[in-house]
Amino acid sequence: MKIYNKYIAAIALSLVLTSCKAPMATVIKDEVKENVPQNFNQEDQGDANNNSGTTPWRQFFTDPNLVTLIETSLKNNQELMITLQEIEIAKSGVLAKKGKLTPTVTAGIGAGLKKAGRYTSEGAGDATTEIEPGKEMPDPLGNFEGGLMANWEIDIWKKLRTEKEAAVAHYLSTVEGKNFVLSNLIEEVADNYYELLALDNQLDIIQQYIKLQQKALEISKIQKEAAATTELAVKKFEAELAKSKATEYTIRQEITEKENQINALCGRYPQPIVRTKEDFMTTIPQTVYTGIPSQLLANRPDIKQAELELKSSKLDVEAARKEFYPSLEISATLGLEAFKPSYLVKMPESIAYNLAGELAGPLINKSAIKANFQTADARQIQALYEYDKTILNAYLDVANLMSKVKNIDQYYQLKAQETKSLEQSIDIANQLFRNSRADYLEVLLNQRDALDAKMELVEAKEKQLSTVVDIYKSLGGGWK
Protein backbone atom coordinates (compact mmCIF):
# COMPACT_ATOMS: atom_id res chain seq x y z
CA MET A 1 0.00 0.00 0.00
CA LYS A 2 2.90 2.35 0.80
CA ILE A 3 4.49 1.65 -2.60
CA TYR A 4 1.17 2.37 -4.29
CA ASN A 5 0.93 5.71 -2.50
CA LYS A 6 4.44 6.59 -3.61
CA TYR A 7 3.46 6.00 -7.23
CA ILE A 8 0.40 8.20 -6.85
CA ALA A 9 2.52 10.95 -5.32
CA ALA A 10 5.07 10.72 -8.13
CA ILE A 11 2.34 10.94 -10.76
CA ALA A 12 0.73 13.92 -9.05
CA LEU A 13 4.10 15.67 -8.82
CA SER A 14 4.78 15.16 -12.52
CA LEU A 15 1.36 16.57 -13.38
CA VAL A 16 1.99 19.68 -11.31
CA LEU A 17 5.45 20.25 -12.74
CA THR A 18 4.42 19.92 -16.36
CA SER A 19 1.15 21.87 -16.12
CA CYS A 20 2.75 24.81 -14.36
CA LYS A 21 5.19 25.31 -17.25
CA ALA A 22 2.53 25.48 -19.99
CA PRO A 23 2.65 28.95 -21.66
CA MET A 24 -0.39 31.21 -22.00
CA ALA A 25 -1.92 32.31 -25.29
CA THR A 26 -1.68 35.93 -26.43
CA VAL A 27 -4.85 37.93 -25.72
CA ILE A 28 -5.70 40.81 -28.08
CA LYS A 29 -8.74 43.03 -27.74
CA ASP A 30 -11.00 43.02 -30.81
CA GLU A 31 -11.59 46.76 -31.09
CA VAL A 32 -12.84 46.75 -34.69
CA LYS A 33 -15.84 44.56 -33.90
CA GLU A 34 -16.59 46.41 -30.69
CA ASN A 35 -16.54 49.82 -32.41
CA VAL A 36 -18.70 49.13 -35.46
CA PRO A 37 -20.50 52.45 -36.28
CA GLN A 38 -24.22 52.83 -35.71
CA ASN A 39 -24.87 53.78 -39.36
CA PHE A 40 -23.06 53.97 -42.69
CA ASN A 41 -23.07 57.76 -42.92
CA GLN A 42 -24.59 60.75 -41.19
CA GLU A 43 -27.18 61.35 -43.90
CA ASP A 44 -28.75 57.89 -43.87
CA GLN A 45 -29.95 56.51 -40.57
CA GLY A 46 -30.35 52.81 -41.28
CA ASP A 47 -33.50 50.87 -40.51
CA ALA A 48 -32.81 47.49 -38.95
CA ASN A 49 -36.14 46.19 -40.24
CA ASN A 50 -35.28 46.91 -43.89
CA ASN A 51 -32.21 45.17 -45.22
CA SER A 52 -31.95 44.02 -48.82
CA GLY A 53 -29.16 41.63 -47.85
CA THR A 54 -31.76 39.23 -46.44
CA THR A 55 -33.77 39.16 -49.69
CA PRO A 56 -33.43 35.84 -51.58
CA TRP A 57 -31.77 36.31 -54.94
CA ARG A 58 -34.77 34.91 -56.84
CA GLN A 59 -36.83 37.79 -55.50
CA PHE A 60 -34.15 40.39 -56.05
CA PHE A 61 -33.53 39.58 -59.74
CA THR A 62 -36.66 39.77 -61.91
CA ASP A 63 -35.19 39.24 -65.41
CA PRO A 64 -36.12 35.61 -66.29
CA ASN A 65 -33.12 35.25 -68.62
CA LEU A 66 -30.76 36.35 -65.86
CA VAL A 67 -32.43 34.03 -63.36
CA THR A 68 -31.91 31.10 -65.76
CA LEU A 69 -28.22 31.96 -66.13
CA ILE A 70 -27.76 32.15 -62.37
CA GLU A 71 -29.46 28.78 -61.90
CA THR A 72 -27.17 27.23 -64.51
CA SER A 73 -24.06 28.68 -62.90
CA LEU A 74 -25.07 27.37 -59.47
CA LYS A 75 -25.31 23.87 -60.93
CA ASN A 76 -22.18 23.81 -63.10
CA ASN A 77 -19.64 26.42 -61.95
CA GLN A 78 -16.27 24.73 -61.39
CA GLU A 79 -15.11 27.09 -58.65
CA LEU A 80 -18.26 26.32 -56.70
CA MET A 81 -17.68 22.59 -57.19
CA ILE A 82 -14.13 22.98 -55.87
CA THR A 83 -15.46 24.78 -52.80
CA LEU A 84 -17.95 21.98 -52.16
CA GLN A 85 -15.06 19.50 -52.10
CA GLU A 86 -13.28 21.70 -49.55
CA ILE A 87 -16.36 21.25 -47.35
CA GLU A 88 -16.09 17.48 -47.73
CA ILE A 89 -12.40 17.63 -46.80
CA ALA A 90 -13.22 19.65 -43.68
CA LYS A 91 -16.02 17.24 -42.80
CA SER A 92 -13.55 14.34 -42.99
CA GLY A 93 -11.26 16.29 -40.67
CA VAL A 94 -14.04 16.45 -38.09
CA LEU A 95 -14.57 12.69 -38.33
CA ALA A 96 -10.83 12.10 -37.92
CA LYS A 97 -10.68 14.21 -34.75
CA LYS A 98 -13.83 12.58 -33.42
CA GLY A 99 -12.33 9.15 -33.99
CA LYS A 100 -9.45 9.94 -31.63
CA LEU A 101 -11.91 10.17 -28.74
CA THR A 102 -12.79 6.48 -28.98
CA PRO A 103 -10.56 3.44 -28.54
CA THR A 104 -8.73 2.01 -31.53
CA VAL A 105 -9.37 -1.72 -31.85
CA THR A 106 -7.50 -3.90 -34.33
CA ALA A 107 -7.45 -7.62 -35.06
CA GLY A 108 -4.44 -9.57 -36.22
CA ILE A 109 -2.67 -12.88 -36.46
CA GLY A 110 1.02 -13.66 -36.40
CA ALA A 111 3.58 -16.44 -36.53
CA GLY A 112 7.23 -16.58 -35.56
CA LEU A 113 10.19 -18.77 -34.66
CA LYS A 114 12.71 -18.17 -31.88
CA LYS A 115 15.80 -19.94 -30.58
CA ALA A 116 17.31 -18.82 -27.31
CA GLY A 117 20.99 -19.42 -26.48
CA ARG A 118 21.52 -22.52 -24.32
CA TYR A 119 23.68 -20.68 -21.84
CA THR A 120 21.18 -17.96 -21.12
CA SER A 121 18.56 -17.84 -18.45
CA GLU A 122 15.81 -18.22 -21.02
CA GLY A 123 17.58 -21.04 -22.86
CA ALA A 124 18.47 -22.90 -19.64
CA GLY A 125 14.93 -22.55 -18.39
CA ASP A 126 13.43 -23.89 -21.62
CA ALA A 127 15.85 -26.86 -21.61
CA THR A 128 14.69 -27.97 -18.15
CA THR A 129 10.99 -27.36 -18.79
CA GLU A 130 8.58 -30.04 -19.95
CA ILE A 131 5.66 -28.80 -21.95
CA GLU A 132 3.89 -32.07 -21.12
CA PRO A 133 5.02 -34.97 -18.91
CA GLY A 134 7.98 -36.55 -20.68
CA LYS A 135 7.95 -33.98 -23.51
CA GLU A 136 10.58 -31.26 -23.54
CA MET A 137 10.09 -27.71 -24.75
CA PRO A 138 10.65 -27.50 -28.54
CA ASP A 139 13.89 -25.94 -29.71
CA PRO A 140 13.66 -23.72 -31.69
CA LEU A 141 10.38 -22.47 -30.24
CA GLY A 142 7.56 -21.47 -32.53
CA ASN A 143 4.97 -18.83 -31.72
CA PHE A 144 1.47 -18.58 -33.19
CA GLU A 145 -0.97 -15.93 -32.05
CA GLY A 146 -4.18 -14.17 -32.94
CA GLY A 147 -6.49 -11.78 -31.17
CA LEU A 148 -7.68 -8.22 -30.58
CA MET A 149 -5.58 -5.21 -29.66
CA ALA A 150 -6.96 -1.94 -28.28
CA ASN A 151 -5.38 1.48 -27.64
CA TRP A 152 -7.13 4.42 -26.05
CA GLU A 153 -5.88 7.84 -25.06
CA ILE A 154 -7.96 9.08 -22.14
CA ASP A 155 -8.88 12.70 -22.78
CA ILE A 156 -8.18 13.84 -19.23
CA TRP A 157 -7.39 17.44 -20.26
CA LYS A 158 -10.07 17.60 -23.00
CA LYS A 159 -7.32 18.15 -25.53
CA LEU A 160 -8.89 15.79 -28.06
CA ARG A 161 -12.30 17.40 -27.58
CA THR A 162 -10.72 20.80 -28.18
CA GLU A 163 -9.14 19.55 -31.40
CA LYS A 164 -12.53 18.22 -32.50
CA GLU A 165 -14.20 21.57 -31.73
CA ALA A 166 -11.51 23.34 -33.76
CA ALA A 167 -12.17 20.99 -36.69
CA VAL A 168 -15.92 21.64 -36.41
CA ALA A 169 -15.34 25.41 -36.45
CA HIS A 170 -13.14 25.03 -39.54
CA TYR A 171 -15.80 22.90 -41.21
CA LEU A 172 -18.46 25.53 -40.52
CA SER A 173 -16.13 28.19 -41.93
CA THR A 174 -15.87 26.23 -45.20
CA VAL A 175 -19.67 26.20 -45.37
CA GLU A 176 -19.66 29.99 -45.02
CA GLY A 177 -16.89 30.08 -47.61
CA LYS A 178 -19.20 28.23 -49.98
CA ASN A 179 -21.92 30.80 -49.29
CA PHE A 180 -19.46 33.59 -50.09
CA VAL A 181 -18.57 31.90 -53.37
CA LEU A 182 -22.30 31.67 -54.15
CA SER A 183 -22.73 35.38 -53.44
CA ASN A 184 -19.73 36.31 -55.60
CA LEU A 185 -20.85 34.01 -58.40
CA ILE A 186 -24.33 35.51 -58.56
CA GLU A 187 -22.88 39.02 -58.54
CA GLU A 188 -20.43 38.14 -61.31
CA VAL A 189 -23.10 36.56 -63.53
CA ALA A 190 -25.43 39.55 -63.06
CA ASP A 191 -22.67 42.13 -63.72
CA ASN A 192 -21.54 40.36 -66.89
CA TYR A 193 -25.14 39.99 -68.06
CA TYR A 194 -25.74 43.74 -67.73
CA GLU A 195 -22.43 44.48 -69.45
CA LEU A 196 -23.51 42.23 -72.32
CA LEU A 197 -26.83 44.08 -72.66
CA ALA A 198 -24.93 47.37 -72.64
CA LEU A 199 -22.68 46.13 -75.47
CA ASP A 200 -25.78 45.07 -77.43
CA ASN A 201 -27.21 48.57 -77.13
CA GLN A 202 -23.89 50.19 -78.02
CA LEU A 203 -23.76 48.00 -81.12
CA ASP A 204 -27.20 49.26 -82.12
CA ILE A 205 -26.07 52.85 -81.56
CA ILE A 206 -22.94 52.46 -83.68
CA GLN A 207 -24.97 50.83 -86.46
CA GLN A 208 -27.41 53.75 -86.39
CA TYR A 209 -24.46 56.11 -86.46
CA ILE A 210 -23.03 54.27 -89.48
CA LYS A 211 -26.31 54.80 -91.34
CA LEU A 212 -26.21 58.48 -90.37
CA GLN A 213 -22.63 58.74 -91.65
CA GLN A 214 -23.55 57.08 -94.91
CA LYS A 215 -26.29 59.66 -95.46
CA ALA A 216 -23.90 62.48 -94.56
CA LEU A 217 -21.35 61.08 -97.03
CA GLU A 218 -23.97 60.97 -99.82
CA ILE A 219 -24.95 64.58 -99.09
CA SER A 220 -21.31 65.70 -99.14
CA LYS A 221 -20.82 64.05 -102.56
CA ILE A 222 -23.92 65.75 -103.95
CA GLN A 223 -22.76 69.10 -102.60
CA LYS A 224 -19.28 68.58 -104.05
CA GLU A 225 -20.81 68.01 -107.49
CA ALA A 226 -22.78 71.22 -106.99
CA ALA A 227 -19.58 72.98 -105.95
CA ALA A 228 -21.12 73.71 -102.56
CA THR A 229 -18.28 71.93 -100.74
CA THR A 230 -14.85 70.41 -101.41
CA GLU A 231 -13.25 67.00 -101.78
CA LEU A 232 -11.88 67.46 -98.26
CA ALA A 233 -15.39 67.21 -96.77
CA VAL A 234 -16.03 63.98 -98.70
CA LYS A 235 -12.80 62.41 -97.46
CA LYS A 236 -13.53 63.45 -93.88
CA PHE A 237 -16.94 61.78 -93.97
CA GLU A 238 -15.43 58.66 -95.58
CA ALA A 239 -12.81 58.49 -92.81
CA GLU A 240 -15.47 58.91 -90.13
CA LEU A 241 -17.54 56.14 -91.71
CA ALA A 242 -14.53 53.78 -91.78
CA LYS A 243 -13.77 54.59 -88.15
CA SER A 244 -17.34 53.79 -87.13
CA LYS A 245 -17.31 50.47 -88.98
CA ALA A 246 -14.05 49.54 -87.23
CA THR A 247 -15.66 50.36 -83.88
CA GLU A 248 -18.58 48.07 -84.78
CA TYR A 249 -16.24 45.09 -85.16
CA THR A 250 -14.52 45.95 -81.88
CA ILE A 251 -17.88 45.86 -80.10
CA ARG A 252 -18.81 42.59 -81.81
CA GLN A 253 -15.61 41.03 -80.48
CA GLU A 254 -16.34 42.34 -76.99
CA ILE A 255 -19.82 40.80 -77.18
CA THR A 256 -18.34 37.42 -78.13
CA GLU A 257 -15.85 37.55 -75.27
CA LYS A 258 -18.53 38.64 -72.80
CA GLU A 259 -20.83 35.80 -73.88
CA ASN A 260 -18.03 33.30 -73.42
CA GLN A 261 -17.20 34.79 -70.03
CA ILE A 262 -20.79 34.14 -68.94
CA ASN A 263 -20.65 30.63 -70.42
CA ALA A 264 -17.46 29.99 -68.41
CA LEU A 265 -19.27 31.03 -65.23
CA CYS A 266 -22.05 28.62 -66.19
CA GLY A 267 -19.50 25.84 -66.67
CA ARG A 268 -20.34 25.17 -70.31
CA TYR A 269 -18.90 25.51 -73.80
CA PRO A 270 -19.64 28.64 -75.87
CA GLN A 271 -23.25 29.12 -76.88
CA PRO A 272 -25.56 32.09 -77.45
CA ILE A 273 -26.75 33.90 -74.33
CA VAL A 274 -30.52 34.33 -74.37
CA ARG A 275 -31.37 37.95 -73.57
CA THR A 276 -33.69 40.83 -74.39
CA LYS A 277 -31.79 44.02 -75.15
CA GLU A 278 -34.73 46.28 -76.03
CA ASP A 279 -35.79 46.96 -72.42
CA PHE A 280 -32.29 47.62 -71.13
CA MET A 281 -32.39 51.44 -71.19
CA THR A 282 -35.80 51.54 -69.52
CA THR A 283 -34.91 49.09 -66.75
CA ILE A 284 -35.38 50.66 -63.32
CA PRO A 285 -32.79 49.51 -60.75
CA GLN A 286 -34.00 47.79 -57.61
CA THR A 287 -34.37 49.92 -54.50
CA VAL A 288 -31.77 48.81 -51.96
CA TYR A 289 -32.19 49.08 -48.18
CA THR A 290 -28.94 48.88 -46.24
CA GLY A 291 -30.16 48.21 -42.71
CA ILE A 292 -27.56 48.96 -40.00
CA PRO A 293 -23.81 48.12 -40.03
CA SER A 294 -23.99 45.56 -37.22
CA GLN A 295 -26.20 43.38 -39.44
CA LEU A 296 -23.20 42.78 -41.69
CA LEU A 297 -21.77 40.50 -39.00
CA ALA A 298 -24.72 38.15 -39.40
CA ASN A 299 -25.48 38.58 -43.12
CA ARG A 300 -22.10 38.54 -44.86
CA PRO A 301 -20.73 35.00 -45.25
CA ASP A 302 -17.12 36.20 -45.54
CA ILE A 303 -17.37 37.84 -42.11
CA LYS A 304 -18.91 34.71 -40.61
CA GLN A 305 -16.22 32.62 -42.28
CA ALA A 306 -13.47 34.79 -40.80
CA GLU A 307 -15.15 34.65 -37.38
CA LEU A 308 -15.29 30.85 -37.46
CA GLU A 309 -11.67 30.64 -38.58
CA LEU A 310 -10.78 32.87 -35.64
CA LYS A 311 -12.66 30.52 -33.31
CA SER A 312 -10.91 27.51 -34.84
CA SER A 313 -7.49 29.13 -34.44
CA LYS A 314 -8.18 29.94 -30.77
CA LEU A 315 -9.12 26.32 -30.16
CA ASP A 316 -5.94 25.22 -31.95
CA VAL A 317 -3.93 27.34 -29.51
CA GLU A 318 -5.74 25.75 -26.58
CA ALA A 319 -5.08 22.26 -27.92
CA ALA A 320 -1.41 23.10 -28.56
CA ARG A 321 -1.09 24.38 -24.99
CA LYS A 322 -2.46 21.10 -23.63
CA GLU A 323 0.35 19.24 -25.39
CA PHE A 324 2.50 20.32 -22.45
CA TYR A 325 0.32 18.22 -20.12
CA PRO A 326 0.84 14.48 -19.53
CA SER A 327 -1.21 12.07 -21.59
CA LEU A 328 -2.79 8.88 -20.30
CA GLU A 329 -2.93 5.92 -22.67
CA ILE A 330 -4.43 2.49 -22.03
CA SER A 331 -3.53 -0.51 -24.15
CA ALA A 332 -4.98 -4.00 -24.01
CA THR A 333 -4.70 -7.26 -25.92
CA LEU A 334 -6.82 -10.39 -25.79
CA GLY A 335 -6.27 -13.51 -27.86
CA LEU A 336 -4.80 -16.98 -28.23
CA GLU A 337 -1.07 -17.81 -28.22
CA ALA A 338 0.83 -21.13 -28.45
CA PHE A 339 4.01 -22.57 -29.90
CA LYS A 340 2.03 -24.99 -32.11
CA PRO A 341 -1.16 -24.22 -34.07
CA SER A 342 -2.85 -27.32 -32.64
CA TYR A 343 -2.44 -25.97 -29.11
CA LEU A 344 -4.35 -22.75 -29.92
CA VAL A 345 -7.63 -24.57 -29.35
CA LYS A 346 -6.59 -25.79 -25.91
CA MET A 347 -8.24 -23.35 -23.57
CA PRO A 348 -7.90 -21.71 -21.16
CA GLU A 349 -4.18 -22.57 -21.41
CA SER A 350 -3.77 -20.77 -24.78
CA ILE A 351 -5.64 -17.62 -23.73
CA ALA A 352 -3.34 -14.58 -23.43
CA TYR A 353 -4.19 -11.04 -22.41
CA ASN A 354 -2.48 -7.86 -21.45
CA LEU A 355 -3.67 -4.60 -19.89
CA ALA A 356 -1.42 -1.58 -19.35
CA GLY A 357 -1.80 2.09 -18.60
CA GLU A 358 0.81 4.76 -19.29
CA LEU A 359 0.94 8.33 -18.04
CA ALA A 360 3.67 10.33 -19.76
CA GLY A 361 4.41 14.00 -20.17
CA PRO A 362 7.21 16.10 -21.66
CA LEU A 363 9.91 17.18 -19.21
CA ILE A 364 13.08 17.90 -21.20
CA ASN A 365 13.61 19.19 -24.76
CA LYS A 366 10.13 20.55 -25.39
CA SER A 367 11.24 22.73 -28.32
CA ALA A 368 8.96 21.01 -30.83
CA ILE A 369 5.91 21.43 -28.59
CA LYS A 370 6.84 25.05 -27.91
CA ALA A 371 7.25 25.69 -31.63
CA ASN A 372 3.83 24.22 -32.37
CA PHE A 373 2.27 26.37 -29.65
CA GLN A 374 3.96 29.53 -30.89
CA THR A 375 2.85 28.78 -34.43
CA ALA A 376 -0.75 28.25 -33.31
CA ASP A 377 -0.61 31.44 -31.23
CA ALA A 378 0.69 33.48 -34.19
CA ARG A 379 -2.02 32.04 -36.43
CA GLN A 380 -4.62 33.03 -33.85
CA ILE A 381 -3.41 36.64 -33.97
CA GLN A 382 -3.29 36.49 -37.75
CA ALA A 383 -6.88 35.21 -37.84
CA LEU A 384 -8.01 38.08 -35.61
CA TYR A 385 -6.44 40.66 -37.91
CA GLU A 386 -8.04 38.92 -40.89
CA TYR A 387 -11.43 39.04 -39.15
CA ASP A 388 -11.04 42.74 -38.36
CA LYS A 389 -9.94 43.49 -41.92
CA THR A 390 -12.98 41.66 -43.31
CA ILE A 391 -15.37 43.65 -41.10
CA LEU A 392 -13.71 46.95 -42.01
CA ASN A 393 -13.70 46.20 -45.75
CA ALA A 394 -17.35 45.14 -45.63
CA TYR A 395 -18.34 48.42 -43.98
CA LEU A 396 -16.31 50.47 -46.48
CA ASP A 397 -17.77 48.51 -49.41
CA VAL A 398 -21.32 49.38 -48.41
CA ALA A 399 -20.48 53.02 -47.59
CA ASN A 400 -18.74 53.51 -50.95
CA LEU A 401 -21.49 51.83 -52.93
CA MET A 402 -24.23 53.80 -51.20
CA SER A 403 -22.50 56.97 -52.32
CA LYS A 404 -21.98 55.53 -55.80
CA VAL A 405 -25.68 54.69 -56.17
CA LYS A 406 -26.66 58.31 -55.54
CA ASN A 407 -23.95 59.80 -57.74
CA ILE A 408 -24.49 57.41 -60.64
CA ASP A 409 -28.20 58.24 -60.61
CA GLN A 410 -27.42 61.95 -60.94
CA TYR A 411 -24.80 61.17 -63.59
CA TYR A 412 -27.33 59.18 -65.59
CA GLN A 413 -29.93 61.95 -65.47
CA LEU A 414 -27.46 64.54 -66.74
CA LYS A 415 -26.18 62.22 -69.47
CA ALA A 416 -29.77 61.67 -70.59
CA GLN A 417 -30.24 65.45 -70.88
CA GLU A 418 -26.97 65.78 -72.79
CA THR A 419 -27.93 63.01 -75.21
CA LYS A 420 -31.34 64.54 -75.88
CA SER A 421 -29.84 67.95 -76.62
CA LEU A 422 -27.14 66.53 -78.92
CA GLU A 423 -29.67 64.45 -80.85
CA GLN A 424 -31.60 67.64 -81.54
CA SER A 425 -28.40 69.41 -82.56
CA ILE A 426 -27.66 66.68 -85.13
CA ASP A 427 -30.90 67.35 -86.97
CA ILE A 428 -30.23 71.09 -86.91
CA ALA A 429 -26.63 70.68 -88.16
CA ASN A 430 -27.69 68.33 -90.96
CA GLN A 431 -30.39 70.77 -92.09
CA LEU A 432 -27.94 73.65 -92.11
CA PHE A 433 -25.39 71.52 -94.02
CA ARG A 434 -27.96 70.69 -96.71
CA ASN A 435 -28.70 74.40 -97.10
CA SER A 436 -24.97 75.25 -97.17
CA ARG A 437 -25.29 77.27 -93.99
CA ALA A 438 -22.91 75.05 -91.96
CA ASP A 439 -19.67 73.35 -92.93
CA TYR A 440 -18.86 69.65 -92.62
CA LEU A 441 -16.80 70.12 -89.46
CA GLU A 442 -19.84 71.29 -87.51
CA VAL A 443 -21.79 68.25 -88.68
CA LEU A 444 -18.97 65.86 -87.81
CA LEU A 445 -18.42 67.35 -84.36
CA ASN A 446 -22.13 67.22 -83.55
CA GLN A 447 -22.39 63.62 -84.69
CA ARG A 448 -19.30 62.58 -82.71
CA ASP A 449 -20.51 64.32 -79.56
CA ALA A 450 -23.93 62.70 -79.90
CA LEU A 451 -22.35 59.27 -80.41
CA ASP A 452 -20.11 59.67 -77.37
CA ALA A 453 -23.04 60.85 -75.25
CA LYS A 454 -25.20 57.89 -76.27
CA MET A 455 -22.38 55.45 -75.58
CA GLU A 456 -21.76 57.03 -72.18
CA LEU A 457 -25.49 56.96 -71.40
CA VAL A 458 -25.54 53.21 -72.03
CA GLU A 459 -22.48 52.79 -69.81
CA ALA A 460 -24.20 54.87 -67.11
CA LYS A 461 -27.24 52.58 -67.23
CA GLU A 462 -24.99 49.52 -66.93
CA LYS A 463 -23.20 51.10 -63.95
CA GLN A 464 -26.57 51.88 -62.37
CA LEU A 465 -27.67 48.26 -62.53
CA SER A 466 -24.27 46.78 -61.62
CA THR A 467 -23.87 49.08 -58.63
CA VAL A 468 -27.19 47.87 -57.23
CA VAL A 469 -26.03 44.27 -57.70
CA ASP A 470 -22.72 45.08 -55.99
CA ILE A 471 -24.34 46.70 -52.96
CA TYR A 472 -26.78 43.79 -52.71
CA LYS A 473 -23.82 41.42 -52.52
CA SER A 474 -21.95 43.72 -50.10
CA LEU A 475 -24.93 43.62 -47.73
CA GLY A 476 -24.65 39.83 -47.65
CA GLY A 477 -27.24 39.05 -50.28
CA GLY A 478 -27.15 36.40 -52.97
CA TRP A 479 -26.37 33.17 -51.11
CA LYS A 480 -29.78 32.49 -49.58
- Lowest average pLDDT, out of 107-121, 258-272, 434-448, 455-469, goes to 434-448
335 Cβ contact list (under 8 Å, min separation 6)? 145, 146, 147, 148, 351, 352, 353
Angle formed by the axes of helices 367-434 and 159-225, to 10°?
A: 20
Using omega within 30 degrees of 0 as the cis cutoff, is the peptide bond preceding 37 cis?
no
Confidence class of residue 61 from pLDDT cuts 50, 70 and 90?
very high
pLDDT reported for residue 292: 92
- For 293-296, the CB contacts below 8 A with 24+ separation are 293/36, 293/37, 293/38, 293/39, 293/40, 293/46, 293/395, 293/398, 294/36, 295/48, 295/51, 295/53, 295/475, 295/476, 296/36, 296/53, 296/391, 296/394, 296/395, 296/398, 296/475, 296/476
Model confidence, pTM: 0.86
* Confidence label for 121 from pLDDT (cuts 50, 70 and 90): confident
**Confidence tier at 359 by pLDDT (50, 70, 90):** confident
Query: In this predicted structure, which of 153-162, 382-391, 462-471 has the lowest mean pLDDT?
Result: 153-162
Give the per-residue pLDDT at 439. Answer: 63
Q: Can you give the pLDDT at residue 9?
A: 52
Neighbouring-strand partners of residue 113: 142
Q: Is the pLDDT of residue 79 over 90?
A: yes
Q: Class of 27-102+155-326+366-475 per CATH? A: mainly alpha
- Grouping H, G, I as helix, E, B as strand and the rest as coil, residue 105 is strand
Residue 4 has what pLDDT? 47
- Mean pLDDT across the chain: 88
Distance CA 381, CA 29 (A): 10
CA 84, CA 187: separation in Å to the nearest integer?
19
Question: For the chain, what are the domain ranges?
Answer: 27-102+155-326+366-475
pLDDT of residue 202: 97
For the ranges 17-21, 228-232, 295-299, 429-433, the one whose mean pLDDT is highest? 295-299
Higher pLDDT: 454 or 340? It is 454
Highest mean pLDDT, choosing among 45-59, 60-74, 125-139, 352-366: 60-74
Confidence of residue 246 (pLDDT cuts 50, 70, 90): very high
Residue 440: predicted pLDDT: 61
Between the alpha carbon of residue 123 and those of residues 111, 137, 140, 144, the distances in Å are 20, 10, 10, 19
For the chain, percent of residues with pLDDT exceeding 70: 91
Q: How many CA atoms lie within 13 A of 382 on its CB side?
A: 10
At 49 the pLDDT is: 84
pLDDT at 164: 95
Mean pLDDT over 319-325 rounds to 91
